[in-house]
Structure 1
Amino acid sequence: MSRHSLRILLVEDHPFQLFSLQILLNNHGLYRVTPALNAAEAIAALERSSEPYDLLLCDQRLPDMSGVELIGVADQRGLIRHAVLLSGLESAQLLDIEDEAIRNGLPLLGFLIKPLNTLELLRLVSSAPGKR
């Protein structure tokens, strides 16, 4: 599957960052992006979808649950294929979260530290095949 046809659910609780990241993805040919400001909005979007999202790009610190918890809920319900965490946490903390997620079998491709590095974001997005 082409990177450009990936269906992405983008979850970020800061409206400006959500908008900016959506524009960044659009500028790199990724137009199938659904934005959500919190986990509740994300779960509603996931449940409305007729097929799983190819990629969940998710902030770790959401107001209503952690990003890794959202990934777990979405994965358990079969609503996503892959996920990437976005966070301002220290890399050591994120490595611990990533290790736990992988031990629990979550489809986590990795994490990105804010402010985001565009090339690293695109590398992770490119590593998300359309099907598991």
Structure 2
Amino acid sequence: MPSYLLRILLVEDHPFQLLATQCLLRSFGFTQLTPAENAEQAICLMSRAEKPFDIILCDQCLPDLPGLELIEIASRRRFTTNAILLSGLPVAELANLMTQAEARGLPLLGYLSKPLNKDELARLICPLLELKM
């Protein structure tokens, strides 16, 4: 199995979802995973990182800050150039968040409904692999 150097920050407050998403990403060959359990921890990790993360996978419903707000902070501070929103919200609400992200100029590649679908994740993340090669 190939190993990919894409640096991924995974922000998820639910321990099982965090573990399951890490396992899913590892099954694709991603090895550079940094988990965070909330926005505060994620901001701390991003600010201490030597270079920006390639992508943030972020839960929308974090206990301390909405995911879209965290993505905006990360984008404005140049902690990342790509993001994917994860959520159990209805698709209509997720589509609305995409519209908001576009209006704010955020680097949101798309959203994934929970539980995560391997094919949908691949559709969003595989174009980034081509950019990193």
TM-score range, shorter chain: over 0.9
The correspondence of residues 80-99 of structure 1 with structure 2, limited to 5 A, is 80-99=80-99
Question: Which amino acid letter does the alignment assign opposite residue 110 of structure 2?
Answer: G
Question: Which amino acid letter does the alignment assign opposite residue 93 of structure 2?
Answer: Q
Q: What is the match of residue 26 of structure 1?
A: 26
- Contact kept? 2:47, 2:79, Cα under 8 Å: yes
**What is the alpha-carbon root mean square deviation over aligned residues?**
1.5
- Distance in 2 separating the partners of 1:76 and 1:21: 26
The alignment's TM-score, normalised by the length of structure 2, stands at: 0.93
The correspondence of residues 1-132 of structure 1 with structure 2, limited to 5 A, is 4-128=4-128
Q: Which runs of 5+ in 1 are unaligned?
A: none
How far did 1:46 drift?
A: 0.4
Structure 1 residue ranges, 4+ long, deviating more than 4 angstroms after superposition: none
Question: Which amino acid letter does the alignment assign opposite residue 94 of structure 1?
Answer: L
How far did 1:3 drift?
A: 8.1
Question: Which amino acid letter does the alignment assign opposite residue 31 of structure 2?
Answer: Y
How far did 1:114 drift?
A: 0.7
Report the secondary structure of 2:116's partner residue.
coil
Q: Which region of structure 1 is more displaced relative to structure 2, 120-129 or 54-63?
A: 120-129
Question: Which amino acid letter does the alignment assign opposite residue 86 of structure 1?
Answer: L
- Contact kept? 2:56, 2:84, Cα under 8 Å: yes
Q: Which runs of 5+ in 2 are unaligned?
A: none
- Distance in 1 separating the partners of 2:30 and 2:123: 13
- Contact kept? 2:3, 2:31, Cα under 8 Å: no
How far did 1:128 drift?
A: 2.7
- Distance in 2 separating the partners of 1:46 and 1:128: 19
